[in-house]
């Protein structure tokens, strides 16, 4: 069933030019289930924290995105970047500097997603953090000067909530769109969202 569902999702996403990553926390990071999903067309996982990324990688799963909800502790950055994730989420200029420094030591450039979190956005308790629009405006030049990273896109959480069976977009999406417009005015063209 998992393989069948993953294949259907993969095929539909491909037709819409959407790249899917799968998340394993809902099924306890089970490596057999993760492998079944990867074999069915969704080849990479999103790891919401660095420990999940390590567990997945140890079981042969490629990492598409790490750090979506939890920043990578500074002492773990080398080990996580060594897993070659497509994207790493950063919540602050300080974190971006840390990622860049390690990436440069590894002689590479890491694609990052900037986590957007304005004060009026919907954020779960314990998952606070991210750039406000004002912080992006203030910090963008400093981030752009970091040779070890490339701004590849924006992220937030949650962007959609389902209540009474109906999906509703959160204010977080508007916040990301505002930052996207700002970055496009600076010359960015293809930002992952």
Residues 61-116: tens digit of each pLDDT: 999 999 988 899 999 999 999 999 999 999 999 999 999 999 999 999 999 999 99
Beta carbons of 50 and 70 less than 8 angstroms apart: yes
Q: How do the domains of the chain map onto residue ranges?
A: 2-185
Residues 22-61: tens digit of each pLDDT: 998 878 788 889 999 999 999 999 998 899 899 899 999 9
pLDDT-based confidence at 150, cuts 50/70/90? very high
Residues 116/145/86/95 CA torsion (nearest 10 deg): -50
Task: List strand residue ranges (DSSP E) for 13-163, in order.
Answer: 22-23, 44-47, 62-66, 87-90, 110-115, 149-155, 160-163
Residues 94-107: tens digit of each pLDDT: 999 999 999 999 99
Q: Which of 34-38, 124-128, 158-162 has the lowest mean pLDDT?
A: 124-128
How do 110-115 and 87-90 pair as beta strands? parallel
127/40 Cα distance (integer angstroms): 31
Distance of CA 131 to the CA centre of its chain: 14
Q: Does domain 2-185 have CATH number 3.20.20.10?
A: yes
């Amino acid at each position: 069933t998992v393989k069948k569902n993953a294949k259907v999702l993969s095929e539909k996403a491909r037709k819409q030019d959407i790249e899917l990553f799968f998340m394993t926390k809902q099924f306890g990071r089970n490596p057999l289930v993760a492998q079944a999903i990867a074999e069915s067309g969704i080849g990479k996982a999103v790891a919401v924290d660095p420990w999940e990324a390590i567990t997945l990688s140890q079981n042969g799963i490629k990492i598409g995105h790490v750090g979506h909800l939890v920043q990578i502790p500074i002492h773990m950055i080398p080990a996580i970047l060594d897993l070659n994730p497509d994207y790493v989420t950063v919540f602050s200029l300080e974190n971006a500097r840390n990622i860049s420094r390690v990436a440069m030591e590894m002689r590479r450039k890491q694609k990052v997603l900037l986590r957007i979190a304005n004060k009026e956005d919907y954020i779960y308790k314990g998952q606070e953090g991210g750039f406000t629009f004002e912080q992006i405006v203030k910090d963008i030049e400093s981030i752009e000067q970091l040779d070890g990273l490339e701004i590849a896109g924006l992220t937030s959480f949650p962007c959609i909530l389902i209540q009474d069976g109906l999906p509703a977009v959160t204010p977080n999406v508007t916040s990301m769109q505002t930052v996207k417009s700002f970055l496009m005015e600076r010359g960015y063209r293809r930002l992952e969202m």
